[in-house]
A and B are shown apart, each in its own frame.
Chain A
């Protein structure tokens, strides 16, 4: 087994016992990036020089006997996380030259634990997309099959794990942006409960939906990394002041007698047969482990996509107003006065999908339309949240597919935004409800693409979904099947 295939859990022990140095490990990851990224294009920025310096520092600190959980472990971040001194583009032309003066809290916490940054990962521009095709820095390709998308918006974060370019990565999930690419790339993606991880220093797309989470090789790493980044942050008023449990402790517990709910609205006609088959097999596995499978209903599921595209775009239209060419980022040349400067900078700086969503959101908030769109959407959101709370009174967790199909082909849906939007139908309601969810690999399609299953938990029920996911991985081999490249 190559060094670059290993997990945080394994590498931490190896580094601590000095079986490997961080410098060796970081070199291995950097050469892996060099070898594979011309095909995959997961990285927007590779910080090789700084990474080697940091690795050396890590080695020194290990030799002093100081080896924290992430000391010397090379990781990478979606390019939506601010990193002091390292460019943060959000995959947008409007931020092509933006270097933040401060670190996002999530990254600061990883750094504090000794992590080494390999670079910044590709994504859909401003996290708007499901395929990683909406990037000013080119498409990221699925390491399992280069003609397919890796999923989005955290496509680079998932592809980098699948291509063994980083030990672990962070993504953000607004409507499925961690879980869907994790599913399409055959890795583990966790979207924590809204408020579990600080959003400070994470470029906002839709503030009431955005949440930070890890993408990792296995469930153990997911639990470990969540433990590092989770917790109250005085700089984020929406982060919740609740103690962070030791998530790894939950992984060893069995799931006998646990009630797993199957929302009937998620197992619909037209679900890809390979996906259906993977779900059936997973259900059988859980049954064999002593779980009880129950039928539940989430009656407002049909309204979720429409609701999401009103709320998310409304918030985005306001969140993206600060990119005006005045203080930072792209500024148009030859502008004729103030208004023209803002117009031109935004026109040149934003991509098509971002403009589409800003226009949608602006419209939804306009006077005369606010009640019919934004306010109505907020009401439906409450109903969707209530659906989940009702379901959780009957089941401990819910099991669903992550996406209706495995990863589609690059270019397949770019002409049909609505088709693209509908591919997130199983992940979007989770963000609207603010609950937690995890995506793990549960099969491989007839075309050789990974298929994910999604486990959903109550608010702050991360321990339970991690526990169930760990039991699945202990009893199946899907997560050990890697992309061949």
Chain B
């Protein structure tokens, strides 16, 4: 039997505010355990939460960018459960009145554009973490406790692991564009729970779902969902039934395994947090945030097509992240040659960044330097081949492109006298090939180009070489 998977995602987006959601402690990552704590995030008796306004602003940004409606009076609720990394014995979250409701994102699928519904977005605090294997017992580090999170809950609208990953990437792109999340997936800044079920193809009755917890890479999400679809299909084929349960993904073995069943599920006893007032969001505040929104990926993609006459492929690649798009725009404008800028950014620059695992913001070749390089090519001062060498030098040594060209004598030779002399020499030494060419075997032309360029250390202007070679070979 053929099965149709049904997938919904719950994504936790860690907000990059300076301070925590309910106190003024720093949110910086990697500090000495329990350094960034105070009575509030330690959950000491008598401590009370005070909401960080920035968190609300970030949530409004996320809501507007994902086409949600903003709930004008939303409420914080307590989610009660016991765990050593949860200092108060409850997590402050939102329950029946979250800050954002009913939005959507459009994703590209094999079958064209598809709309994925967003049920809700709510604000909440992160828990701390347990540190095992140091000393005799386990340690509790509460630096992360109280870090602000948004939970973005989708509708069960995805039908394949590819769609799930496309949705996830789109959401990732948006929250990083908005500047509300640093996007660092290894540090857990963007992580997701996947709800997966299957039903017979053609059916409209969803099967029982399993929830896969805390997957923190696009690759793992794909693997986890695919494994889960396979596991559930095999289970049903063998006459079994899928249990509603929570499962964990093991990235080493590529499998999911059961964590707890529905019977063991917590009763979180949600109720409105009496320590916090309802969050009142005025229409003025919403329009203020709306006005401050940066250009979003889709709009930027369309503008790149128009303003820079880029092919769709280029515009898509270059708008993948905000720093990349910013880099490209700066370079395109400074060089006056958008297409060349696109080629260099997607080609040499991306390769160099990847090879050295460097983030684009830390690129040793600035957009201005790359633009200088492009202008050197466009003015005929150097060839593209030489430009690649210059790029290497600038990347490695932090030099200026024009200085490299000058100091290493890399300037292109367009002087026909020098080129003619080289051609004469080569034709003399390769009389056999000259004859072949003249007998109609035009393929050897490339051989001559190569030889001339070699003789001139690659500095000859290729266009001039072509012209002169054609003249010389034809003449007799």
Contact = CB atoms under 8 A, between A and B. Distances in A.
Specify whether A and B are partners. yes
B48 A100 contact: no
Given A318-B78, A327-B42, A327-B140, A234 B50 contact: yes
A237 B275 contact: yes
A374 interface: yes
B60 to A, nearest CB: 19
A327 B46 CA distance: 15
Nearest to A80: B46
B82 A207 contact: no
A100 B47 CA distance: 11
A321 B140 CA distance: 17
Contact of A200 (B47, B87, B271): B47
Among B80, B88, B140, B274, the most chain A Cβ lie within 10 Å of the Cβ of B274
Contacts of B44: 100-102, 328
A335 to B, nearest CB: 12
Given A234-B50, A362-B269, A367-B267, A326 B84 contact: yes
Interface in A296-335: 314-315, 317-318, 320-322, 324, 326-328
B90 A318 contact: yes
A306 B49 CA distance: 29
B43 interface: yes
Contacts of A327: 42-43, 87, 140
A88 B51 CA distance: 27
B49 A237 contact: yes
B48 A82 contact: no
A139 B216 CA distance: 55
Interface in A189-247: 199-204, 206-208, 234-238
B45 interface: yes
A201 B140 CA distance: 23
Q: Which size class do B's interface residues fall under?
A: 20 to 34
B89 A237 contact: no
Nearest to A311: B274
B361 interface: no
B48 A235 contact: yes
Among A235, A339, A366, A374, the most chain B Cβ lie within 10 Å of the Cβ of A235
Contacts of B47: 200-201
Contact of B46 (A202, A339, A342, A362): A202
A229 B226 CA distance: 61
A98 interface: yes
B271 A342 contact: no
A208 B271 CA distance: 12
A127 interface: no
B277 interface: yes
A252 to B, nearest CB: 36
Nearest to B39: A102
Contacts of B140: 326-327
A339 B269 CA distance: 19
A324 B48 contact: no
Nearest to A374: B271
Given A104-B46, A204-B46, A321-B88, A370 B271 contact: yes
Given A321-B90, A324-B89, A366-B269, A82 B275 contact: no
Given A237-B50, A321-B89, A314 B271 contact: yes
A322 B46 contact: no
Contacts of A262: none
Contact of B269 (A90, A204, A320, A365): A365
A411 B49 CA distance: 39
B80 A200 contact: no
Given A324-B82, A326-B140, A342-B82, A200 B46 contact: yes
Given A321-B88, A321-B90, A367-B267, A90 B277 contact: no
B276 interface: yes
Chain B at the A interface: SS class: loop
A199 B271 contact: no
Interface residues of A, number: 43
A139 B82 CA distance: 32
A204 B90 CA distance: 14
Contacts of B270: 365, 370
A322 B271 CA distance: 17
A204 B50 CA distance: 16
Contacts of A321: 80, 82, 88-90
Nearest to A329: B45
Interface string B240-257: 000000000000000000
Interface in B262-289: 267, 269-271, 274-277
A262 B89 CA distance: 44
Nearest to A98: B45
B151 to A, nearest CB: 20
Among A102, A201, A237, A315, the most chain B Cβ lie within 10 Å of the Cβ of A237
Contact of B48 (A200, A339, A362, A365): A200
Contact of A238 (B267, B269, B277): B277
A338 interface: yes
A326 B138 CA distance: 11
Interface in B69-97: 78, 80, 82, 84, 87-90
Contacts of B87: 322, 327
B270 to A, nearest CB: 8
A421 to B, nearest CB: 21
Contacts of B48: 199-200, 235-238
A322 B88 contact: yes
A15 interface: no
Among B45, B50, B80, B84, the most chain A Cβ lie within 10 Å of the Cβ of B45
A175 B70 CA distance: 37
A321 B45 CA distance: 11
A430 B90 CA distance: 28
B271 A235 contact: no
B46 A237 contact: no
A100 B90 contact: no
A235 B277 CA distance: 13
Given A98-B45, A324-B89, A328-B44, A318 B51 contact: no
A366 B275 contact: no
Contacts of A199: 46, 48
A100 B267 contact: no
A419 B382 CA distance: 97
Contacts of A200: 46-48
Interface of A: 82, 88, 90, 95, 98, 100-102, 104, 199-204, 206-208, 234-238, 314-315, 317-318, 320-322, 324, 326-328, 338-339, 342, 362, 365-367, 370, 374
29 contacts: A98-B45, A100-B46, A101-B39, A199-B46, A200-B47, A201-B47, A204-B46, A207-B274, A208-B274, A237-B48, A237-B49, A237-B51, A237-B276, A238-B48, A314-B271, A317-B80, A317-B269, A318-B78, A321-B82, A321-B89, A322-B87, A322-B89, A328-B44, A339-B82, A362-B269, A365-B269, A365-B271, A366-B269, A374-B271
Closest 6 CB pairs of A and B: A321-B89, A365-B269, A208-B274, A207-B274, A201-B46, A203-B45
